[in-house]
Amino acid sequence: MKNCLITGGAGFIGCEVSKLIEDTFDNIIVIDNLHPQIHKLNERPADLSPKVNLYVADVMDPITWDEVLSKWKPDLILHLAAETGTGQSLTESSRHANVNVVGTTQMLDALIRNDAIPSKIVLSSSRAVYGEGKWLDKDGISFYPGQRSNEQLANKEWDFKESVFLPMNTNHTTPQPTSIYGTTKLAQEHLISCWCKSYGVNYTILRLQNVYGPGQSLINSYTGIVSLFVRLAKQNKSIPLYEDGMMLRDFVFITDVARAIYEVMINENANGKVFDIGSGYGSTIKEIAELIAKRYEAPTPEVCEKYRNGDVRHAQADISDTLQVLNWCPEVSLEEGMNLLCDWIDGQLEE
C-alpha cells in the first residue's frame, strides 16, 4: 500500500499506530491540531514515527483538506480525530458535535471534491455508543435500562435492581448512547458506513473500550482515570471512588489496540464489519485504585459517592466474535499493563 492518512494521528493511539505501520506504507500523512488539552507543547510529539508527514491543522477546515489531498491521495484512511470527554461533552456539546460529526463530513466532502476516494476507511469508535448496554432481569429476560436519571444518581441508586449486566457485543447489543460524546461517535459510525457503501469503499469500525498505557496524556483531566489515580497515589493521597467504586471497566493496553487497528487495515475479512476491542475482562474501579494505592503505599481508596451524568454503570467487551474473525487477541494483562504505565508515569513526573 502507498499512502495512509491518519486524522488525529499525533495523539495517544495515532503515535503508537504510526510506529507499527511505518514499513507498510510508502507515505503516512497525519492531520492533527495538537490541541492544548492533550498536548502540553505545540510541537511534534517525540513518539510520532519520523516517517510521518505532519500537518498541524483542523479536520473541520476545508482548506486544510484541499491542501493535503491535492498532494496526497490516500489509499487508506484511519479516522481517529475526535473530542473524547464524556463529562465535558455535556457542557461543550457544540465542540464535540463539530469535531466528531462536522469534522467527519468535511473529510468525506473533501475526498469527493479532490477526487481522492480511498480504498478503505478505518474508524476508531467507542464503547460509549452502547450506553448502559443490555442487562438481564431476575427472570432471565434481557432488557435495555436506558440512561440513569439525575434523580436516580442523586438517590445513590447506582445499579439497576435485581439485574445483571451483559458484556457489550456488536452483534448482540444495540447501541443506545447515554452521553453527547457517545451520540456523536455513533453518528460517525453511520456517516462512514453509509458514505462508504455509496461509493464502494471498504470500511471497518472498531468500538474501543478504555485504552490505557505509556504515552497517554497526563494533562487531560477528562480522560485517563488511571493516570489521575497514579498522580494522587504518588502524592500520598487517598484515591476517591465515584459512586460505590464497583463500576466495571474494560481496560485494554495501547499496544493491543494498535495491533488490532493494524490487523483490520490488512485483513480483508474485516471489511464492512464492526468489532469490539477490549481485554474482555471487566475490573472494578475500586480494584484499579487499590492496585495503584498498593504500589505507591498510598492510603486506602475511599468511596466518595460522587457521580458524573452520562457515565455508564458498567462497560466490558465480549470479544468472542472479534477473536473468531481477526488474527488478533489482547496480550497484555491488566497487572502487567498497569505496571508498565506506572513505570512510564514515574519517569515522566521525574523529568
The set of catalytic residues is 181
Distance CA 33, CA 51 (A): 18
Task: Tell me whether residue 11 is exposed, middle or buried, using C-beta atoms within 10 angstroms of its C-beta: 0 to 12, 13 to 18, 19 or more.
Answer: buried
8-state DSSP, 314: B
206 neighbors 275 (Cβ within 8 angstroms): yes
Neighbours of 112 (CB within 10 A): 11
Q: Cell numbers 493494524 correspond to what residue?
A: 262
Q: Which residues of 140-151 are buried (b: 16+ CB within 10 A; e: fewer)?
A: eeeeebeebeee
CB-based burial, 276-307: b 16+ in 10 Å, e otherwise: bbbbbbbbbbbbbbbbbbebbebeebeeeeeb
Strands, E assignment, the chain: 3-7, 27-32, 52-56, 76-79, 120-126, 135-137, 142-143, 163-165, 202-208, 210-212, 240-241, 248-249, 251-253, 273-277, 283-284, 302-303
Residue type for position 320: S
